[in-house]
Amino acid sequence: MNKKTLHSIIAIAAILAAAWILNGILDSYVRRVLNLCAIYAIISLSLNLVNGFTGMFSLGQAGFMAIGAYTVAIFTVPVELRAAGFYLEPMNPLIAGIELPLLAALILGGLLSATFAFIIGFPVLRLRGDYLAIATLGFSEIIRIIFTNTQSITNGALGIKNVPALSNMFFIYLAAIITIVFMRLLISSSYGRAFKAIREDEIVAEAMGINLFKHKIMSFVISAFFAGIGGGLYGALLGTVDPKNFMFTLTYNFVLIIVLGGLGSISGTVIASFIITIGMEWLRFFDDELVLFGFKVPIFRPGLRMVVFSVLLMVIVLFFQKGLMGQKELSFDMLRQAAARVKGLPLFKNGRRKGE
Amino acid sequence: MAGKILRNNLAVAVLAILLVILLVYVYASTAIKMPGSVFLQHLTNGLSLGSLFALIAIGYTMVYTILSMINFAHGDIFMISLYFAFFTLSVFNMPWVLAFVCVAALTPIVGILIERFAYRPLRDAPKNSVLISAIGASFLLENAATYLFGGRPKVLPDIPLLSRVISIHSVNFQVVSIVIPILTFAILIALINFINHTKTGIAMRAVAKDHEIARVMGVNINRIISLTFIIGSSLAAVGGFMWGTRYPGITPMMGVMPGLKCFVAAVVGGIGDIKGAVMGGFILGLGEILIVALFPNISGYRDAFAFILLIIILLVKPTGILGSKAREKV
């Protein structure tokens, strides 16, 4: 076994062990925030696969999340609790009696989301740039509108409550790690190289014999699958699923994450997911009143947090277009070099000094 | 004569729309026994909504022609114009004509600021960065409006002259729903003349064709781009003011849906063509109102109509109804 693989396996095991242990120690608020970080990482990775690695601009993630979240919500609410929620119109008898374990519902949600992506992919992926962005955004809104109107399946605007709450860190981090590993393997495979070629230049890629449409739809479908899984986890974490949760503004969170992390960097995306999610929680003090030396500071009131958040997004887009990582990946070598630099040791490692 | 009309895209499209309206009327009066006056009522509503869409769509299409980017913030500029209308009318108690002028003068400032700070620094950046910046600008405007004005809906005061209801042969309509289409057509004609026959208009078309060459010919690119944003935003402001008279609730997120729909309208009509944007606006407005009127049980899907139309158009004729074929340059 290669040394790098060994290191990766040790790191993964360490993270999972940490998640297992922390699950028992942390209070529910911190655990919820950390879980949200991992779920956001899954969804952002799925978005980065399409936007960062394949170079298509999709804004449909909220819709795919909705499919996953609703699948989990519909099938995991205990059968006896369903009548209480569906009081306007009873649940469709075809699905009213089916109850699935969370894992099965998650995978089903991912598959449904992927199927939907496959169907819309045929017309949509012929479009480029802005048009693709608008069309995917349109489809994500259409999904939300459909879910708002299918009263007997999704309970319409009332939403589905009593979804068995998921707060097991180990389970969520396992899902996140599976996603990360899968993305890493996919990107370093020949498919991943084809995606990147399409990102750099479609015409050249086609000339090199890459089947554009096949690879685009593949990237799109895989992305939708993981967005569905992420959405399912998100729904289970919240405990209620409501069409208003899946407005397309939700997608903007993930756009911010992948831009901050670097379009086309897996590790950047994961790091940015943690920074943004924890940062958003930390920024909550902007929404509270602030009293300094006995004076109330007038600008601190509800809503300021989102203003700061959007200003940050603009600053990143305008001044740090490459994000944290650009298209690079965090590796053990990079960490070792960073550690060496911190200690002030000259880097003789590669036989030459910096600048030589 | 007939052949000449058939070769003209615009004429064919207008004829087709009239034909569809006629068919819808035949269907409405025979299948669901809708009285003629009710149909006419829906038609007026559709026309006035369509002209509002058209006014906003012009802004999208102009910016897209010049900068080839979607100005995602355009819908939010429209929203801000409604807040300006609210403040001038009910906080400063201005007479509505003065308020109207103020709104039309203030809103372009927002448009210019967005162009200056969010788009200009990225003019040579990859297209995706510009798109993200546009999304960010839109998000910033929405959040700033929520923070400054609160999330609770504000209501524009009644403008008696515009909201008076007239009834002719048992068809009731507000004055404003007649004023809007007339205003839209007047603006359309003025704008077409401006673009085709003035020096600035020619410069604008030159910039749309090629920034570099236009610069070489002595056109001040930044000035033209700012001007485009001024025109687009002030049309959005006119639309916003009229919208406020017709549908009074103002919220920070209200610009999003009209914004997206108007972009769809611009694409449906053929992006880059002002006549196309207006036509797309009418198709969208009429379609939305008539579908809800004819099939009340699917009225929940009203907002989906625009997106379905967009996808159909992109599949059948990606350049839009009036658009000409553009070849991909290698």
For residue A149, the chain B residues in CB contact (below 8 A) are: 300-301
Q: What share of chain A is helix, strand, coil (3-state, %, to 5)?
A: 70, 0, 25
Local structure of B139: helix, strand or coil: helix
Residue that the structure tokens 């009332």 belong to:
A158
Q: Return the residue in B143, B267, B271 with the most chain A beta carbons within 10 A, the one to mutate for interface testing.
A: B143
Structure pTM? 0.85
For the cut 80, the answer to whether the pLDDT of residue B264 exceeds it is yes
Inspect the interface and report whether the beta carbons of A145 and B303 lie closer than 8 Å. yes
pLDDT at A235: 93
CA angle A136, A100, A224 (to 5 degrees): 15
Write down the domain spans for chain B.
Answer: 2-316
Question: Where does the pLDDT of residue B1 fall: very low under 50, low under 70, confident under 90, or very high at 90 and above?
Answer: low
Nearest to A141 among B151, B307, B315 (CB): B307
CB B45 within 8 A of CB B289: yes
Judging contacts by C-beta atoms under 8 Å, the chain A residues touching residue B121 are 318
- The reported pLDDT for the residue numbered B6 is 63
Contact B127 A129 (CB under 8 A): yes
- CB contact A283 to B (< 8 Å): no
Those residues with Cβ within 8 angstroms of residue A344's Cβ, 6 or more apart along the chain or in another chain = none
Q: Which of residues 46-85 of B touch A (CB under 8 A)?
A: 69-70
What pLDDT score does A351 carry?
45
- Cross-chain residue pair B300–A148, CB shorter than 8 Å: yes
Of B128, B137, B300, the CB nearest to A149: B300
- Chain A and chain B share a number of CB contacts under 8 A equal to 112
Residue A80 has a pLDDT of 80
Residues 63-122 of A with CB under 8 A from B: none
Q: Say if A149 is an interface residue toward chain B (CB within 8 Å).
A: yes
Instruction: Round to whole Å and give the CA distance between A218 and A195.
Output: 9
Distance CA A35, CA A277 (A): 10
Alpha carbon B57 to chain centroid distance?
A: 3
| Chain A partners within 8 Å of B147 (Cβ) | 301-304, 306-307
Exposure of B71 in the CB half-sphere (CA atoms within 13 A): 38
What does the mean pLDDT of chain B come to?
A: 86
Would you state the pLDDT for residue B2?
Answer: 63
Is 70 exceeded by the pLDDT of residue B5?
no
CA distance B21 to B27: 10
Whether B123 contacts chain A with CB within 8 A: no
Q: Which of A59, A123, A263 sits opposite B315 (nearest CB)?
A: A123
Amino acid at A8: S
Question: B2: distance to nearest CA of chain A, Å?
Answer: 35
- Give ∠ CA B66-B52-B172 in degrees, rounded to 5: 165
C-alpha–C-alpha distance, residues B26 and A145, integer Å? 30
pLDDT of residue B198: 92
Query: What is the C-alpha to C-alpha distance for residues A263 and A257, in angstroms, rounded to an integer?
Result: 9
A22 at interface of B, judged by CB pairs closer than 8 A: no
- pLDDT tens for each residue of B70-129: 888 999 999 999 999 998 988 888 888 898 999 999 999 999 999 999 898 888 887 778
Nearest to B265 by CA among B54, B21, B43: B54
B168 with B154: CB under 8 angstroms?
no
With a CB cutoff of 8 Å and minimum separation 6, the contacts of B327 are none
Task: Verify whether the Cβ–Cβ distance B144 to A307 is below 8 Å.
Answer: yes
Structure-block tokens of residue A180: 């990360």
Place of tokens 């103002």: B250
pLDDT of A115: 96
Indicate the angle between helix axes B274-294 and B256-269, nearest 10 degrees: 120
Given a contact cutoff of 8 angstroms between Cβ atoms, the answer to whether B87 and B244 are in contact is no
Instruction: Please give the full DSSP string across B303-326, using - where no structure is assigned.
Output: HHHHHHHHHHHHHH-TT-SSPPP-
Q: Do A123 and B318 touch (CB under 8 A)?
A: no
pLDDT, residue B163, reads 76
What is the pLDDT at residue B97? 87
Question: Would you say B55 and B239 are in contact if contact means Cβ atoms under 8 Å apart?
Answer: yes
First vs last C-alpha separation in chain A? 34
CATH topology of domain B2-316: ABC transporter involved in vitamin B12 uptake, BtuC (1.10.3470)
Q: Do B267 and A148 touch (CB under 8 A)?
A: no
- Put simply, whether B136 touches A (Cβ < 8 Å) is yes
Residue A299: Cβ-neighbour burial (10 angstroms; 0-12, 13-18, 19+): exposed
Q: List, in sequence order, every residue forming a beta bridge with B250; answer none if it has no partner.
A: B154
How far apart are the C-alpha atoms of A183 and A258, rounded to whole Å?
14
CA distance A356 to A234: 50
Interface confidence (ipTM) of the complex: 0.80
Element (H, E) at B172: strand B171-174
Q: Taking CB atoms and an 8 Å limit, are A307 and B133 in contact across chains?
A: no
Q: How far, in whole angstroms, is CA A41 from its chain's centroid?
A: 5
Structure tokens at B123: 């003019």
Q: Which of A125, A139, A253, A321 to mutate to test the interface with B (most CBs of B within 10 A)?
A: A321
Kindly state the tokens that stand for B285: 């407005």
Q: For position B324, what pLDDT does the model report?
A: 64
**Would strands A295-297 and A290-292 be described as parallel, antiparallel, or unpaired?**
antiparallel
> Contact A135/B314, CB-based, under 8 Å?
yes
pLDDT under 50: residue ranges of chain A: 348-349, 351-356
Return the residue of B nearest to A250 by Cα: B139
Residue B326 has a pLDDT of: 54
pLDDT at A82 (0 to 100): 80
